[in-house]
Amino acid sequence: MTVTDVSVQARWLAVTSVAVGTFTVVTSEMLPVGLLTSMAADLGVSAGTAGLTMTAPGLVAAAAAPVLAIAARRADRRLILLGLMALLAVANLAAAAAPAYPVMLAARVLTGVSIGGFWAFAAGIGTRLVPERSVGRATSIILGGVSVASVLGVPAATFVSSFAGWRSAFAAAGVLALALLALLATSLPPLKPLTGPEPQPGSESSPMPEKRSSWLSGPLKLVLVLTALTVSGHFVAYTYVRPFLEEVAQAGPALVSTALLLYGAAGVAGNFAAGARAARNPRLTLITLVTLMAAAMAALVLTGVPALAALVVWGLGYGGVGVTLQLWIMRSGGGELATALFVGAFNVSIALGALAGGRIADGLSVSAVMWAGAGLAVISAALAAVGGGTGARGGVSAAGAGTGGRSRTSGS
């Protein structure tokens, strides 16, 4: 593996800037969740229609990830990441200034392109920035931005909007993207396109070898199905958690912000707590996490009050889902193709979950979305229990779990 000839400090600054990049793109994707009520009122649409601002970028990101990965496979990764971050800045600022719903939706489509492309390229860029022994750690940091954004992005946006309105949250995300664009430009070294023949599995230029016969293996198919069930189940309910808290639990803006901040803090704790356990047994860890999610969703409906404890449990559960599924994906042996499919499945699940939640909220009630999310979580737990097999029971190997082995990350 060839590592860019820069100092150790510069390498880790580059890794950190890419991690902040993954945090920024995923936070941008999640922004509407905590802003739906005010967005819908201002743009003159229903909460369910406003939820399409979550659906659109998710679907676009799912398509953009494999398309851009193939189309720009030989391009300089630095230039690609800079371009995608610039696109994200434009999209967020356009959303902040959107005079009508169609403009907002168009801005969110651009957001989806940036999300899918940046995430796909960032996942494997650690192999180009650090020595082989540090690839696992670098990739964990980069992908950690995705996990933290999933649980902190919405509470942060809700907090900002409670003081200055929903448009301020998009404007802040746009400014953050511009600042990050400057950081990436100064910290990332040139990452020249790969040249020569296709790397062979196990060669120095193939950081994550793939077995062509097993890249879509049974274990990988199972993890992709579990991803769809778990993530869509979460977003069926979570996309409409603010309307639920306001309409059913009669919570005011201050209490909603506090509740979502507690959820986010619990999610960060869940992310790190689940990581160590998932490295040993991702199947059992996922079953535990989705069970917590289902119990929390059901508790919110049954109590009918803004139960902060239930939101903390929900945050603990979902906070660990991303890292657990990622470690399980690493064990599936599919390599770079598996990672691309996982990114696609994750984003499609976000989109479909938000879409289904909108239809349920408009057609039935916002309480019904909680039951739908809990039901999907229960199905996911049951499927993981009966279909996990031996491939997910043992600990993740050094090569697969991030101790520097080549199968830990995608090649660049």
- pLDDT exceeding 70 applies to what percent of the chain? 81
What pLDDT is attached to residue 140? Answer: 67
Give the model's pLDDT for residue 209.
42
pLDDT tens per residue, range 109-122: 999 999 888 887 88
Report pLDDT digits (tens) over 356-365.
Answer: 888 898 888 8
The vertex-273 CA angle with 263 and 278, nearest 5°, equals 120
Q: How many CA atoms lie within 13 A of 318 on its CB side?
A: 31
Among the listed residues 55, 153, 81, the one whose alpha carbon sits nearest the alpha carbon of residue 355: 55
The sign of the torsion formed by the CA atoms of 66, 70, 72, 75 equals: positive
Q: What percent of the chain has pLDDT over 90?
A: 26
Which one is predicted more confidently, 91 or 401?
91
pLDDT at residue 7, as a whole number: 74
Q: How many CA atoms lie within 13 A of 72 on its CB side?
A: 21
For residue 255, what pLDDT band results from cuts at 50, 70 and 90? confident
Question: What is the spatial distance between Cα 256 and Cα 157, in angstroms, rounded to a whole number?
Answer: 12
- Gyration radius (Cα) of the chain, Å: 20
Q: List CB contacts of 271: < 8 A, sequence separation 6 or more.
A: 144, 147, 148, 151, 319, 320, 322, 323
Burial class (CB in 10 A: 0-12, 13-18, 19+), 112: buried
Q: Which band of pLDDT confidence, cut at 50, 70 and 90, is reported for residue 333?
A: low
Residues 6 or more apart in contact with residue 204 via CB below 8 angstroms? 1, 2
Distances (CA, A) of 9 to 5, 6, 62, 262, 267: 12, 8, 34, 34, 30
Q: What pLDDT does 92 receive?
A: 95
Residue 400 clears pLDDT 60, i.e. is over it = no
Give residue 193's pLDDT band: very low, low, confident or very high (50, 70, 90).
low
Q: How confident is the model at residue 302 (pLDDT cuts 50, 70, 90)?
A: confident
Confirm if 66 and 38 have CB atoms less than 8 A apart.
no
The pLDDT of residue 243 is 83
Least confident segment among 152-161, 218-227, 278-287, 331-340: 331-340
**383 pLDDT exceeds 80?**
yes
The predicted model gives 310-339 an average pLDDT of 78
Total residues belonging to the chain = 412
| Predicted structure pTM score | 0.70
Statement: residue 216 has pLDDT above 80: no
Q: Which helix (H) or strand (E) holds 274?
A: helix 253-280
Compare 313 and 122 and report the one with higher pLDDT: 313
CA distance to 216, 268, 360, 369, per residue, from 8 (Å): 37, 28, 51, 48
Q: Is the pLDDT of residue 402 over 60?
A: no
CA 374 and chain centroid, separation: 20
In order of 203, 305, 356, the CA distances from 223 in angstroms are 27, 35, 21
